[in-house]
Chain A
Amino acid sequence: MANVGSAVKSRNGVFRQMANQKYLIMLALPAFVLTLVFSYIPLAGWFIAFSDYQLGFSFFSGEWTGLKQFRLFFGETSDAFNIIRNTFAMNIMSLVGGLGIAFVFSLLIKEVASGKAKRLIQIITFFPYFMSWVILYSVIYSLFSTSSGAINVFLVDIGILKEGLNILGDKKYSWTLIVLVNIWNTLGYNSVIFLASISNVPADLYEAASIDGAGRLQKAISITIPYMVPTLLVLFIMNSGWILNSGLDQYFVFTNPTNRPTMEVFDMYIYRYGIKLMNYSYATAVGIIKAIVSIVILYGVNMLSRRLSSRSII
């Protein structure tokens, strides 16, 4: 009897608590419903990867087809190989190149004597980061289109090139293009973070080094760089967890039929097969593969991070 009594009492307690907190619940409710609808319900859509889905019917109405779509992706064509290779190659090179160059660049900004110049350099290098990929594409197209791009024309005029390089269309330039554009785009962002870690170096360390007769190079090597390395590691680890989700926008503007074999990444492939060709089941299956690989990477990176820096990224 006592148990029943306390169960009733605690249920009443919950209701009373809910009544007391009705305003807090009201405040949380819209976000809760929206997240449920737009983040959790789509997970039910994974079911269509295993069935013969028809547009306009419910997710669960199609006939069960098992792993057919997955076999298609891995077995029938070389698509799987190309997509996985492109995704990893471009994103890893962009990450390593972007962080590496920003690391060196921050060290060099620190050595600029004038504070005003420092700020100006930072403001200007940060600018491309806030531009949409449409804008960046437009700007790059004006400079690098094969026949009328300003830089191509200039290089032909002074005789370095015979004809303009087809950087935006030729598939042999895809990776170079993406990596360089990414370094250009993220330099300001990454160096803000590195400069923050440089500003954490206690000033008396430099003073002590000066008294000992250390030059700027020695100070950079034995004081500044050791202070920056943990930040570099954290940035590297955190970003590598997101390597498969590196933004659809960017590849949306740079992928075209002529450079597709070396430019197409997971999301573009899913977009092409799902939205354009309306092969929903197949595209969803590829999406599931991407999600699984992505979670494995995130998990692995998180373990590595715990071991290296005793910091968990999740």
Chain B
Amino acid sequence: MRKARPFELLFDIFNSILMFVVVLIMAYPFLYVFLYSISDPAHLKAGLMLWPEKITFNSYKVIFANPVIINGVYISIARSVIGTVSMLVVTAAAAYAISKKHLIGVRFLRVFFILTMYFSGGIIPAYLLVKSLGLTNNFLVYIIPNMVSVFNMILIRTYVESIPASLEESALMVGANELQIFLYIVIPMSTPVLAAVGLFTFVNQWNSFVDVQIYNFMKPDLYPLQYILFNYLMSQSQSIEQAKRTMNVTAISPQSLKTTITIITILPIFFIYPVLQKYFVSGLMVGSVKE
């Protein structure tokens, strides 16, 4: 055994304390919001806490009895699920097509897609276009403009190119066409990359709120959870009276409601987070291999 040097021992102690502090800074803000949401507002003192004050799930009951929130949950789920599936279908199909070197015009197509990562027309022309297509005040604005993700297309293409060519060749020999190969060979073989890319798209869709503000703010029926929370946070000096009126509640403080909606909005991400974190590390690797 190596002789412990006093300097290194001191360093280990210092390092452990530092790591603890970092973890605290990362986790405590979320813990605080959670503790607040399950505390009884009547017993709450302002200030830091490590333990809930008189645990109650009243604010959760109130929130889940609210039709506005329930509708928001539906919209959030719908945009995340439909948005993810449609992105996967469109983007993976194109990724497979541009992985074929013999495809007519493939070099043009690759540049055509990749260029869009480096410029955009900007917020206003995009807004005017979406408006003229009749996609404002429309659920489809969450879906259609997000169906193509060039970044994901590159990740999927890199993966597809690593599938042994002999598999496809033997399928061609027995008379399969490229559509069948895509459906029955490429998709099943690419599940790891499709799962990773799908998860991130799901998270992005779940987390979106700016597109709601720009395109759909006239349509409260189409507000996802994130945007309901955003609105609620932004209405400055939200008094209890206002809260009662807008959320139709009594005896619950606005801050309790805010923290509760926040926790509900975090929850789905929290549950898929372990998988997400694992995939992210491998996703990064896929990306850096390409680079």
Contacts and interface: CB of A to CB of B under 8 A. Distances in A.
Given A24-B100, A39-B120, A45 B23 contact: no
Interface residues of B, number: 92
A134 B276 CA distance: 20
Nearest to B178: A23
A295 interface: yes
A143 B32 contact: yes
A203 interface: no
B281 to A, nearest CB: 6
Contact of A249 (B12, B46, B116, B209): B209
Contacts of A295: 118-119
Contacts, number: 267
Contacts of A134: 207, 209, 226-227, 229-230, 233, 265
Interface string B205-241: 0111110011000000000001101100110000000
B103 A28 contact: yes
A40 B121 CA distance: 7
Nearest to A18: B104
A230 B2 CA distance: 32
Interface stretch (B61-69, B141-149, B161-169): B141-149
Nearest to A31: B94
A244 to B, nearest CB: 11
B214 A275 contact: yes
A99 interface: no
B145 A28 contact: no
A138 B98 contact: no
A206 interface: no
A121 B22 contact: yes
B5 interface: yes
Contacts of A150: 32, 46-49
Contact of A32 (B94, B182, B276): B94
B195 interface: no
A55 to B, nearest CB: 8
A161 interface: no
Interface string A13-44: 01001100101111110111011011111111
A157 interface: yes
- By secondary structure, the A interface counts as helix
Interface in B32-52: 32-33, 36, 46-49
Contact of A130 (B98, B262, B273): B273
B173 to A, nearest CB: 16
A127 interface: yes
Contacts of B118: 295, 298, 314
Interface string A265-285: 001001100110000100110
B140 interface: no
Contacts of B120: 39, 42, 291
A308 to B, nearest CB: 15
B207 A131 contact: yes
Given A34-B144, A135-B262, A154-B47, A46 B125 contact: yes
A143 B48 CA distance: 8
Contacts of A18: 104
Interface string B104-134: 1000010011001011111111111100010
B124 A45 contact: yes
A215 B262 CA distance: 47
B93 interface: yes
Given A28-B93, A30-B94, A113-B12, A142 B32 contact: yes
A35 B206 CA distance: 23
A170 B72 CA distance: 32
Question: Would you list the 9 A-B pairs with minimal beta carbon distance, nearest first?
Answer: A45-B125, A42-B121, A287-B122, A132-B207, A31-B94, A28-B97, A42-B125, A23-B178, A27-B93
Interface of A: 14, 17-18, 21, 23-28, 30-32, 34-35, 37-46, 48, 55, 59, 105, 108-109, 111-113, 117, 120-128, 130-135, 137-143, 148, 150-151, 153-154, 157, 184, 187-188, 192-193, 196, 215-217, 248-249, 252-253, 267, 270-271, 274-275, 280, 283-284, 287-288, 290-291, 294-295, 298, 311, 314
Interface of B: 5, 7-8, 11-12, 15-16, 18-19, 22-23, 25-27, 29-30, 32-33, 36, 46-49, 90-91, 93-94, 96-98, 100, 102-104, 109, 112-113, 116, 118-129, 133, 144-145, 147-148, 150, 153, 177-179, 182, 203, 206-210, 213-214, 226-227, 229-230, 233-234, 255, 258-259, 262, 265-266, 269, 273-274, 276-277, 280-281, 284-285, 288, 291
